[in-house]
Amino acid sequence: MNKKKIINDPVYGFISIPTELVFDLIEHPYFQRLRYIKQLGMTHLVYPGALHSRFHHALGAMHLMGLAIKTLCDKGQQITPQEEEGVMIAILLHDIGHGPFSHALEKHIVQGIDHEDISTLLMNRLNSVFNGSLTIAIEIFNDQYHKKFLHQLVSSQLDMDRLDYLNRDSFYTGVSEGVISSERIIKMLNVVDDAIVVEEKGIYSIEKFLVARRLMYWQVYLHKTVTSGEQMLGKILMRARQLSLKGVQLFSTPALNHFLQNNISKEQFIYDDHHIETFTCLDDTDIMAAVKVWIRHTDKVLALLCENFIQRKLYHVDITNIKPDAVKVEELRQKAMKKYDLCFEDAGYFVFTDVISNNAYKVGDANIKILMKGGTVNDITTASDNSNLEALAKTVEKYIFCYTKDLL
C-alpha cells in the first residue's frame, strides 16, 4: 500500500506524511476520532466559520514541526532520523486525549485529569500496538528525552502547537489579529545549551506572536458569547450527571452514559483500561445527540438548558475586573426561582458567577529566549524594547456573571 500521501491543507497548502509509521498512526481510530472534535468548542456560535477540528490542527502542527527540524538541521544541529520521527509523532498526537468540544467540557467528562494526561495514556497504548515504535515520541512528549530542546518544540511558550493554532484559528474565524509569521519564526530558531532560542533578528516576529496570542484570547477564545455557550454546555452536562447519579434515566450513547453514571477518579481512569477505551468512543456527536433529545426530558432544568442551547438563547455574560455585586446576584437568583418555579439550588443553573484568566506569557515557565548578536541569551521581556511585553507577562483575571436574558 502506498503510504506516501499528501494532504491539501487550507492554511499551508500541501502537507506530506513523512513516514509509514506516521501514516499508520493517522489511520488509527484514536486519531481519526479527532475529525469529530471541534478545535474551538463553542466558538462557531460567534464566528460561524470556526468549525475546524483537532484533526486539522494536529496535521498542521506536524507540518510546522517538519519545517522546524529542517531549519535546525540546516544550522548544524544533530537530529537523527529516529529523533525526527519521534518529535513529529509527539506533536501529531499531542491533542489525542481531548474530549468532546475540546476545552469546553474538559472538567465535566472526567474530573481531575487533563487532556495531556489522557494523551500520554493513549500514546502508551499505541506504543504497545506498534511494538514500541513510539518510545522516543513518548519520552519527548513527557520531557524525559535527553535532548530537552525537542520537548520545547512540542510544548513550551513557543511551540509548534501555538504557532499552528494561532494562524489556523485566525483563518477559520476570520479574526486577522491572530495572524503570525510562523514560517519566519521557525526560520529564526536555533539551539543554545540544549534549549530553543530565537535569533535576534526574529525579535519583532516574537513580539507580534505574543500580542496576537493575547488578542486572540480576548477576541476569540474568551469572547463573552463563546464563554456563555461553553458555560451553558457545561451546566447541561453537570445537570445530566447529577440526575444520572440519582438513578434518573437519560438518553445517551453508551460511551456518554458510562461517564454520566460513574464518578471516576484519576487513579481509576489511569489503571482501568475500560474507562480509557470508552473515552476513545466519545466525540462531539455524542454530546449533541443527547442535548437534542434532552429538550423533551421531564426534568425542567435540563430541558430548559438544552432548549436554550440549541436555539442559541445563551446566558447574558458580564465580564468585569471586580467581583459581581452579591446583592444583584442574589436578586436575580430569587427572580429565577419564581420565574422557573425552582428551588434555590436549581436556580444556580440560570444565575451564577465564575472566573476566567488570560496569560499571554509566563516569565520563568520555559521562557522565550532571544539569542543576541553578541552571543548572549536574554528573555524576550528584557531583550525587547517593547514595554508592553511586561504587561503581557501578567496574568489577567476577570470575573464573569452569567444569567438568562429573560430575567432582566
pLDDT for 359:
74
Query: Please, what sign has the CA dihedral across residues 187, 66, 196, 214?
Result: positive
Specify whether the backbone of 132 is left (phi greater than 0), alpha (psi in -120 to 50) or beta.
left
pLDDT for 113:
86
DSSP symbols for 27-74: HSHHHHGGGGSBTTTTGGGTSTT---BHHHHHHHHHHHHHHHHHHHHH
224-357+401-407: CATH topology: Growth Hormone; Chain: A; (1.20.1250)
- Residue 106 to residues 84, 128, 230, Cα–Cα distance (Å): 31, 26, 11
pLDDT for 384:
80
Q: pTM for the full model?
A: 0.94
Residues 6+ apart with CB under 8 A from 147: 79, 83, 194
Is residue 293 a contact partner of residue 379, using CB atoms and an 8 Å limit? no
Task: Name the H helices within 348-385.
Answer: 380-383
Order of strands, sheet of 189-192, starting from the edge strand that comes earlier in the sequence: 189-192, 195-199, 369-371, 377-379
- pLDDT per position as a tens digit, 351-397: 999 999 877 677 665 689 999 999 999 988 888 877 667 666 677 88
The domain locations on the chain are 6-222, 224-357+401-407
CATH code assigned to 6-222: 1.10.3210.10
Q: Which burial class, exposed, middle or buried, applies to 6 when counting CB atoms under 10 A from its CB (0-12, 13-18, 19+)?
A: exposed
322 by DSSP, 3-state: which? Answer: coil
Which amino acid is residue 132, in one-letter code?
Answer: G
pLDDT for 408:
81
pLDDT for 366:
66
Which amino acid is residue 90, in one-letter code?
Answer: A
User: What's the residue count for the chain?
Assistant: 408
Grid cell listed for 269: 481512569
198 by DSSP, 3-state: which? Answer: strand
pLDDT for 103:
79
pLDDT for 391:
66
- pLDDT per position as a tens digit, 284-340: 999 999 999 999 999 999 999 999 999 999 999 999 999 999 999 999 999 999 999
Is residue 92 a contact partner of residue 58, using CB atoms and an 8 Å limit? yes
4 by DSSP, 3-state: which? Answer: coil
Task: Write phi, then psi, for 19 (nearest 5 degrees).
Answer: -140, 165
Residues 6+ apart with CB under 8 A from 65: 87, 88, 91, 153, 154, 160
Topology match between the domains 6-222 and 224-357+401-407? no
Which amino acid is residue 399, in one-letter code?
Answer: Y
pLDDT for 387:
62
Task: Write phi, then psi, for 198 (nearest 5 degrees).
Answer: -115, 130
Q: Cα–Cα distance between 128 and 132 in angstroms, integer?
A: 6
pLDDT for 325:
94
Residue pLDDT tens, the chain, 408 long: 788 899 999 999 999 999 999 999 999 999 999 999 999 999 999 999 999 999 999 999 999 999 999 999 999 999 999 999 999 999 999 999 999 998 767 788 888 888 889 999 999 999 999 999 999 999 999 999 999 999 999 999 999 999 999 999 999 999 999 999 999 999 999 999 999 999 999 999 999 999 899 899 999 999 999 999 999 999 999 999 999 999 999 999 999 999 999 988 888 988 999 999 999 999 999 999 999 999 999 999 999 999 999 999 999 999 999 999 999 999 999 999 999 999 999 999 999 999 998 776 776 656 899 999 999 999 888 888 776 676 666 778 899 999 999 998
Among residues 40, 42, 285, 358, which one has the least CA distance to residue 172? 40
Is residue 225 a contact partner of residue 314, using CB atoms and an 8 Å limit? yes
Residues 6+ apart with CB under 8 A from 247: none
Specify whether the backbone of 52 is left (phi greater than 0), alpha (psi in -120 to 50) or beta.
beta
Residues 6+ apart with CB under 8 A from 1: none
